[in-house]
């Protein structure tokens, strides 16, 4: 609860900070290129969303918005880069559920996500989809659970790293279903190994696997939200088999603590405008997601709830760090 309180206090206090001379005022910002740091590999959901938004934001700001991938350690490397950057609006973090998970998962980091990153705005939200290699002898979620129970330790499920959304959802599924799969974390994309059958399953962000699902290269067994996804309307929810299971991936953008509030406000407004563009909504829909938008305070409150939710899963499942592939 202390981390949650700190996060909310930081977000609320941003509006009350005095105007500083750090960098440009809102009327002149930005005057040079902006870096948008992504903590995952190209092709990941975080990367995909960032690269959809960046060119449109660049048009609105009149400066390049360059996406930079700084992978490893569940986005903690990217988070530290941004946390320690100058608070002038020129280094931003592509935030995701993993950053909220890391508050509990990595207690000894060189920065504190809740204290050192100011939430600007949420950008994207969608279900995850449980997708399996077609060689897995399960056509339904009930079949998959039965197969997992009959073959403990023989199903490998992939993720984009320890503490990532696919990892956390796999652990939550293990708890709810009473099974034990083997987690295989990747520093890069697990998709090639999933398609080849090297790993059997993934709780995947939709942008990563929806193309392979539609092409019949992967089999979708369920989505993680309480309602079915319009992008995969024939795919049931996990909750239809395991009542109460509810999870989603989300993305957003944050800045270093101390970023002038007028710059945070400008970025919030411009990104909100990007999210309202029909072509962005259409692109998000293709990936099974919707724009978030809203105020910085709204986003801060949402993140604090996510920090609490995943802290409970980590502690209940006694999840430990593992090496990445």
- The yes-or-no answer to whether 2-126+249-317 and 128-240 have a common fold is yes
Report helix, strand or coil for 204.
strand
Q: Which fold is adopted by the domain 2-126+249-317?
A: D-Maltodextrin-Binding Protein; domain 2 (3.40.190)
Chain segment 294-304, per-residue pLDDT in tens: 999 999 999 99
Confidence of residue 256 (pLDDT cuts 50, 70, 90): very high
The pLDDT, as a whole number, for residue 190 is: 94
Average confidence (pLDDT) over 138-145: 98
CB 252 within 8 A of CB 92: no
Average confidence (pLDDT) over 86-113: 93
177 has a pLDDT exceeding 70: yes
The pLDDT, as a whole number, for residue 9 is: 56
Average confidence (pLDDT) over 124-149: 97
The contacts of residue 97 (CB under 8 Å, 6+ apart) are 164, 165, 168, 249, 250, 306, 310
Euclidean distance between CA atoms 208 and 195, whole angstroms: 12
Q: Which residue did the predictor score with more confidence, 213 or 15?
A: 213
**Average pLDDT score over the chain:** 91
267 has a pLDDT exceeding 60: yes
How many distinct helices (H) and strands (E) make up the chain?
12, 11
24 has a pLDDT exceeding 80: no
CB 40 within 8 A of CB 46: yes
The pLDDT, as a whole number, for residue 22 is: 44
CB 310 within 8 A of CB 168: yes
Euclidean distance between CA atoms 46 and 185, whole angstroms: 16
Residue 160 to residues 40, 155, 225, 289, 315, Cα–Cα distance (Å): 7, 17, 20, 19, 21
At how many degrees (to 10) do helices 76-83 and 97-105 cross? 90
Q: What's phi and psi for 93, nearest 5 deg?
A: -110, 130
Q: What is the CATH superfamily name and number for domain 128-240?
A: Periplasmic binding protein-like II (3.40.190.10)
**How does DSSP assign 63-96, residue by residue?**
S-EEEEE--SGGGHHHHHHHHTS-SSSSEEEEEE
Least reliable range by pLDDT among 30-34, 152-156, 321-325: 321-325
* Percent of the chain's residues with pLDDT above 90: 77
Confidence of residue 322 (pLDDT cuts 50, 70, 90): low
Euclidean distance between CA atoms 23 and 86, whole angstroms: 9
The pLDDT, as a whole number, for residue 20 is: 45
Average confidence (pLDDT) over 169-195: 94
What are the structural domain ranges in the chain? 2-126+249-317, 128-240
Euclidean distance between CA atoms 219 and 140, whole angstroms: 9
The pLDDT, as a whole number, for residue 74 is: 80
Instruction: Report pTM.
Output: 0.82
Average confidence (pLDDT) over 227-247: 96
Enter the tokens of residue 197.
């059958």
Average confidence (pLDDT) over 211-229: 97
Q: Determine if residue 288 is left, alpha or beta; phi over 0 gives left, psi from -120 to 50 gives alpha, anything else beta.
A: left
Confidence of residue 136 (pLDDT cuts 50, 70, 90): very high
Euclidean distance between CA atoms 90 and 266, whole angstroms: 13
Average confidence (pLDDT) over 25-30: 80
Q: Which residue did the predictor score with more confidence, 133 or 19?
A: 133
The pLDDT, as a whole number, for residue 50 is: 97
The pLDDT, as a whole number, for residue 160 is: 85
325 has a pLDDT exceeding 50: yes
């Amino acid at each position: 609860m202390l981390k949650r309180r700190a996060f909310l206090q930081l977000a609320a206090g941003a509006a009350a900070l005095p105007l500083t001379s750090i960098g440009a005022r809102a009327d002149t910002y930005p005057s040079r290129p902006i870096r948008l740091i992504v903590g995952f590999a190209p092709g990941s959901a975080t990367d995909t969303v960032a690269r959809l938004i960046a060119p449109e934001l660049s048009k609105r700001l009149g400066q390049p918005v360059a996406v930079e991938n700084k992978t490893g350690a569940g986005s903690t490397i990217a988070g530290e880069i941004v946390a320690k950057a100058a608070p002038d609006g020129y280094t931003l973090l592509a935030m995701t559920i993993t950053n909220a998970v890391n508050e509990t998962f990595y207690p000894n980091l060189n920065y504190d996500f809740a204290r050192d990153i100011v939430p600007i705005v949420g950008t994207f939200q969608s279900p995850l989809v449980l997708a399996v290699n077609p060689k897995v002898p399960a056509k339904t979620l009930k079949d998959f659970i039965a197969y997992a129970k009959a073959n403990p330790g023989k199903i490998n499920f992939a993720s984009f790293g320890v503490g990532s959304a696919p990892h956390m959802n796999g652990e939550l599924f293990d708890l709810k279903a009473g099974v034990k799969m083997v987690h295989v974390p990747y520093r890069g994309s697990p998709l090639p190994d999933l398609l080849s059958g090297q790993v059997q399953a993934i709780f995947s962000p939709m942008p990563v696997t929806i193309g392979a699902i539609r092409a019949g290269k992967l089999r979708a067994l369920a989505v993680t939200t309480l309602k079915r996804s319009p992008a995969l309307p024939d795919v049931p929810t996990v909750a239809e088999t395991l009542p109460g299971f509810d999870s989603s991936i989300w993305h957003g953008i944050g800045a270093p603590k101390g970023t002038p509030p007028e710059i945070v406000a400008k970025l919030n407004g411009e990104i909100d405008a990007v999210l309202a563009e029909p072509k962005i909504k259409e692109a998000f829909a293709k990936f099974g997601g919707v724009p978030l938008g809203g105020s910085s305070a709204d986003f801060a409150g949402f993140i604090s709830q996510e920090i609490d939710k995943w802290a409970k899963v980590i502690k209940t499942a006694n999840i430990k760090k593992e090496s990445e592939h």
